[in-house]
Amino acid sequence: MLKLLLILGFLNLEFFITIRAQDPLDCFQLEDSECPNSNVTFRLYNSNEPFGLLIDADTIEGLTLQSSDPLKVIIHGYNSSHSGTPNLELVPQFLQIPNISIISVDYSNLVPDPCYTQSVHNAHVVGRCIGYFLFPILNSNATVTEKLHLIGFGLGAHVASFAANYLSDLGLKVPHITALDPAKPLYVTTDLAERLDPSDADFIDVIHTDIFIYGLMQPVGHVDFFPNKGVVQPNCGPIDDIDTHHCYHVRAVEYYAESISSSEVFWAFRCRDLYGFIVGECEPNNDVEQMGYFVRETARGNYFLMTNGKPPYCKGKDFSNLDRTLYGETYLGDALVSKLKELGPSLRVLTTDIRK
């Protein structure tokens, strides 16, 4: 199976990508940024359309939205589709909520494995086409705009950013983006036009579950949650197998899906940053927020929590047995962890700021 080998640079945490030999004809990047685009399709889910209605992106045919209904737009990531993660986990949970509309975006033709570099390029066009699709819906109904919520996983978190920026240029500010383990490779940049950042929406909540390989380590939202340090997620497989990190990556979606209908709450306590949590600068305190669907839009800062090893993952306000170690928990190996430890307090900057 084709894999991405992601190598962490000691000095600046940039990632380089080595892709096994591939037929260049299998990969392409869009040169035409015009929308609508046949490679970007949309499906509507609600109580009347539980199996999804394919929408004509040019005429918005068949799309009926109640102005009082929340509108969730789910954006998948690299090497997925409308029938894969995160739609597979989130759509059934959302359909349990009365009076909700869900739009699932499919751009699978533009992000196939092993074409990651081209996928990153295509992500800008996908974001533009999502904005193009949403604008007439939102422009005709301000109430729908107020209830708009973009949810992106991995690469899709940055696509949500690009869609929000397109709408902002047209005078419509997106109120809420949820980023589920936003992708790291080729997104470690200070150029805010090239990645997710807090200016993209009125409120952005982020869940980090694989900060060493697939996901960004640094905070990029108004509130960032780091379950299990964001380093390792339980019962995902052996740490010497890079495929285990894909499980870590997807776990952000599974936590979010559980939070939609769970009677328990993923409570997390505040710490200055990841470095502060690892070195024990902070202990559980009364400054708590709930991670997931019911996060407060006034939440700000970095929050930490542990989870159970299997569903239900939520532990409520149980902050006992906090795991702060990095040794023996990452595919990158303990030698790298030791190198990071040698940086001492200077590591704090690398865990809080994205640098070119």
pLDDT of residue 334: 79
pTM: 0.93
Q: Which of 136-140, 206-210, 300-304, 348-352 has the lowest mean pLDDT?
A: 348-352
Mean pLDDT of 253-270: 97
Confidence of residue 7 (pLDDT cuts 50, 70, 90): very low
Please name the amino acid found at residue 253.
Answer: V
Residue 8: its pLDDT value, please? 39
Give me the sign of the Cα torsion angle 187, 192, 194, 200.
positive
- Using one digit for the tens of pLDDT, what is the confidence trace for 298-340? 999 999 999 999 999 999 999 998 999 888 887 777 787 777 7
**pLDDT at 62 (0 to 100):** 54
Q: At a CB cut-off of 8 Å and minimum separation 6, what does 158 contact?
A: 123, 127, 152, 182, 183, 187, 194, 195, 196
The predicted structure's pLDDT at residue 9: 33
Greatest alpha-carbon span in the chain: 59
User: What's residue 70's pLDDT?
Assistant: 92
Q: Residue 2: its pLDDT value, please?
A: 31
Helix (H) or strand (E) holding 133: helix 116-139
Contact 302, 252 (CB under 8 A): no
pLDDT at residue 342 is higher than 80: no
Average pLDDT estimate for 133-139: 91
Q: How far is CA 56 from the centre of its chain?
A: 27
Q: Write down the pLDDT at residue 22.
A: 45
Beta-strand pair 4-8/203-207: unpaired
- Is the confidence at residue 274, as pLDDT, over 60? yes
CB 265 within 8 A of CB 341: no
Least confidently predicted of 77-81, 138-142, 198-202, 246-250: 138-142
Mean pLDDT of the chain: 89
Question: Which whole number is the average pLDDT over 198-221?
Answer: 97
Beta-sheet pairing, 203-207 with 176-180: parallel
Q: Would you say 107 and 40 are in contact if contact means Cβ atoms under 8 Å apart?
A: yes
Which of 18-22, 153-157, 330-334 has the highest mean predicted lDDT (pLDDT)? 153-157
Confidence of residue 17 (pLDDT cuts 50, 70, 90): very low
- Domains of the chain with bracketed CATH: 4-350 (3.40.50.1820)
Angstrom distances, CA of residue 242 to CA of 2, 12, 50, 214, 321: 12, 22, 36, 10, 26
Cα-trace Rg, the chain: 20
Q: What is the mean pLDDT of residues 181-204?
A: 96
Query: Average pLDDT in the 92-97 region?
Result: 96
Q: Between these two residues, 25 and 22, which has the higher pLDDT value? A: 25
The whole-number pLDDT of residue 12 equals 32
Q: What's the confidence (pLDDT) of residue 3?
A: 31
pLDDT value of residue 304? 98
Can you tell me the distance from the alpha carbon of 249 to that of 247, in angstroms, rounded to the nearest whole number? 5
